[in-house]
Amino acid sequence: MAEETDASSPQCCIVGGGPAGMMLGYLLARAGVRTVVLEKHGDFLRDFRGDTVHPSTLRIMDELGLLDDFLQRPHRRLEVIGGWFGARHVQLGDFRGLPARYAFIAMMPQWEFLDFLADEAKKLPTFALRMRANVIGLIESEGRVAGVRGTSPDGEFEIRADCTVGCDGRHSTVRAAAGLAVKDLGAPIDVLWFRVTRDPAEVDSSLARIALGHFVVTIDRGDYWQCAFVIAKGGAEALKQRPIEEFRAQVVDAGPVLAAHIAADVRSWDDVRLLTVAVDRLTQWSKPGLLCIGDAAHAMSPIGGVGINLAIQDAVATANLLAVKLRAGIANADDLDAVRSRRLWPTKATQAAQVGIQNNVLLPVLGGANAELRVPLPMRILTAMPALQRVMARLLGMGVRPEHVRSPAA
């Protein structure tokens, strides 16, 4: 087994090249911390990561001087958000009251976002990204985490670092290996994920489409819709016992806009992927030598499309609190725990909102509890009051306790 000294005996080893890991890697390397990011996949080209880059993240990119280049990547601007409740259109948020440079959600496939961050980070001399590096365990020494063990196409590897950060998502290997306790907050939904061709002339790009018992999210990716059909947790197996035609009919019931092409694009269950949803949180985010952030510390539901942005905010807060100390080699257990103290409140508030929407909006719709489809009262009020839509957009777009970049550029 080779001892890894290249990438070069990093001060910080980040596990996972998702939004949290890539942003933290960039920020720490920018501050002069020798940083390596380990990503188990060979590229970022998985389409089930979500597309929503919120105003809070756009503002971070602006503070880093990256926004204009970033927006050269393919994306679509979403200035208002809404959807269909049966035949009734609801409008829930209007971002145009925010400062002009971030007065929208940038709908950008996440591989574009991660590729962009990777390209920028690779310009920094203290940054290294290792793809196909699958972390399988932690190295512990003298009562603290001293690095990671993993496998790659070149064989097994070990990387020792002053600090290891688990950014490896909601099925985090790092948090499991560290034995950090997880509190499950309950997610009564799962998602079926598939693509349907989109007519170029289509003008309706609403995200949410709801019928009695059925709910589909339609992400406009230009020539196709990336669709997420929301089902009750554990319901996928029973659904898959039924003919695919029944599934297609349920989808079209909620999203008539998909009717023309769904038969050609969703020919069998092979064209449909199950994504399981979790909402949970660690009670302790760190131990000596180790910290978890992003979904590894608090798995987020897709509701509101906020998980990516919360992960980015965690990364910014972590760099703000730790970059200088990591560079000096003096980050101790209290310093690592300061990240939890800073980010716990926004995490709790956001998860509480997600669980509330799951239980009070989604479950009644999926259960078909009402004889007719009724738009929930808060949505009717929002639709009727444009001023409230701006307040909602600010809450959703900037999140709770939005962070600013305070970590230094070396």
Ligand X SMILES: Cc1cc2nc3c(=O)[nH]c(=O)nc-3n(C[C@H](O)[C@H](O)[C@H](O)COP(=O)(O)OP(=O)(O)OC[C@H]3O[C@@H](n4cnc5c(N)ncnc54)[C@H](O)[C@@H]3O)c2cc1C
Strand residue runs (E) in 100-175: 105-107, 127-131, 134-141, 144-152, 155-160, 163-166
Q: How far is the CB of 366 from ligand X (least distance, A)?
A: 15
- 4 touches ligand X by CB under 6 A: no
* Contact call for residue 216 and ligand X (CB under 6 A): no
Contact 186, 279 (CB under 8 A): yes
Stretch that binds ligand X, among 45-53, 95-103, 341-349, 379-387 (CB under 6 A): 45-53
Among 40, 75, 214, 281, binds ligand X (CB under 6 A): 40
- Round to whole Å and give the CA distance between 317 and 186: 26
Is there binding between residue 399 and ligand X (CB under 6 A)?
Answer: no
* Residue 83 in the binding site for ligand X (CB under 6 A): no
Helix (H, G, I), strand (E, B) or coil at 210: strand
Residue with tokens 């909402």: 279
109 binds ligand X (CB under 6 A): no
* Smallest separation (angstroms) from ligand X to the CB of 24: 9
Nearest to 296 by CA among 310, 317, 275, 276: 310
Does 21 bind ligand X (CB under 6 A)? Our answer is: yes
Out of 138, 231, 277, 379, the only residue in the binding site for ligand X (CB under 6 A) is 277
User: Any idea what DSSP says for residue 312?
Assistant: H
Q: Is 32 in the site for ligand X (CB under 6 A)?
A: no
**Vertex 189, ends 186 and 195: CA angle to 5°?**
145
Provide, rounded to whole angstroms, the least separation between the CB of residue 377 and ligand X: 26
Nearer to ligand X, 94 or 168 (CB): 168
CB-side neighbour CA atoms (13 Å) of 274? 14
Token digits for 204?
């309706």
* Contact flag: residue 167 with ligand X (CB under 6 A): yes
**In the complex, minimum distance from the CB of residue 334 to ligand X, in angstroms, rounded to a whole number:** 23
Nearest residue (CB) to ligand X, 7 versus 167: 167
Q: Tell me which of 307, 346, 397, 399 binds ligand X, using CB under 6 A.
A: 307
On the 0-12 / 13-18 / 19+ scale of CB atoms within 10 A, 404 is exposed
Residue 168 lies near ligand X (rule: CB under 6 A): yes
Pick left, alpha or beta for residue 380 (phi over 0 → left; psi -120 to 50 → alpha; otherwise beta): alpha
Q: Judged by CB under 6 A, does residue 254 bind ligand X?
A: no
Under rule CB under 6 A, residue 272 binds ligand X: no
Taking CB under 6 A as the criterion, the residue among 20, 71, 129, 365 binding ligand X is: 20
* 41 versus 245: smaller Cβ distance to ligand X: 41
Stretch that binds ligand X, among 39-47, 232-240, 341-349, 400-408 (CB under 6 A): 39-47
Contacting residue, 7, 71, 282, 311, with ligand X by CB under 6 A: 311
DSSP structure class, residue 243: -
Sheet holding 224-232, edge to edge: 88-94, 80-85, 208-211, 214-220, 224-232, 189-197, 273-276
Which three-class secondary structure state does DSSP give residue 31? Answer: coil
CB of 103 to ligand X, least distance (A): 18
Minimum Å gap between C-beta 227 and ligand X is 11
- Which of 38, 279, 297, 331 is closest to 180 using CA atoms? 297
Q: How far is the CB of 171 from ligand X (least distance, A)?
A: 7
- Contact set with ligand X (CB under 6 A): 15-21, 38-41, 49-52, 134-135, 167-169, 173, 191, 275, 277, 294-296, 300, 302, 305-309, 311
